[in-house]
Structure 1
Amino acid sequence: MLVNLTGALALGWLLTALAARGPETTRRKKLRLLLGTGFMGGFTTYSALATDTMLLFTQGSTAIGLAYGLGTVLLGAFATWVGMLLGTRGRTPQGDAK
């Protein structure tokens, strides 16, 4: 669960930080795909979440399985949101003069 939550936080930060730098260029797109889809996709795994949840269900730990599955998804959404906040920290949108 910790790996998936860390990955959600990092992915939220990465995507927002890249978007805050301006329009997507070929270089930014390659960086987003390499780090976001490639590295973070390999770091986090939906299959591990699904397998671990199913194992808990089949071992008779229905409540723990539900808590683990739903908790990972809900906490992952929160971690992504926090990552997005961190990615926009100290940045103003393109074109805004301050």
Structure 2
Amino acid sequence: MPVAILVINVVGAFVLGALLEALARRGPDEGRRRVVRLAVGTGFCGGFTTYSTLAVATADLLRAGAAPVALGYAIGSVLLGAVAAWAGVLVGSRS
């Protein structure tokens, strides 16, 4: 199971959740906040996370005949990412 991909995606989801919540609490999405959101959120987090690699890794597991592992990996990655984003929102709301 590609654990590194899972960890990267979960960390990226957390950072994105924290960033977006912190920016939203500081005011409307304009000016410097928009630039930060686009540069860090879309740019850094988009480049850091590897959800397309998650799809390839899942397909590789399926081709290897490990369908239950592939299904658990794909669903688990998405669920852990959602939980991490939620935790990031909680952290971002405190800043």
Q: TM-score, normalised by structure 2?
A: 0.91
Q: Which amino acid aligns with 2:19?
A: L
Residue in structure 1 matched with residue 79 of structure 2 by the alignment: 74
Cα deviation for residue 24 of structure 1 reads: 2.1
Q: Select which of 62, 67, 74 maps to 2:67.
A: 62
1:72, 1:44 → 2: CA distance?
A: 12
Q: Which has the larger radius of gyration?
A: 1
Q: Which amino acid aligns with 1:55?
A: D
1:89, 1:63 → 2: CA distance?
A: 39
2:26, 2:83 → 1: CA distance?
A: 23
Q: Unaligned stretches of 5+ in structure 1?
A: 91-98
Q: Which amino acid aligns with 2:15?
A: A
1:26, 1:51 → 2: CA distance?
A: 37
Residue in structure 1 matched with residue 17 of structure 2 by the alignment: 12
More helix by share: 2
Q: Confirm or deny that 1:24 pairs with 2:29.
A: yes
Matches for 1:25-64 after TM superposition, within 5 Å: 25-64=30-69
1:29, 1:66 → 2: CA distance?
A: 37
Report SS of the residue matched to 2:34: helix
Q: Could you tell me the percent identity over the aligned residues?
A: 52
Which 10-residue stretch deviates more, 20-29 or 55-64? 20-29
Q: Unaligned stretches of 5+ in structure 2?
A: 1-5
Cα deviation for residue 46 of structure 1 reads: 1.7
1:16, 1:54 → 2: CA distance?
A: 33
Q: Name the count of aligned residue pairs.
A: 90
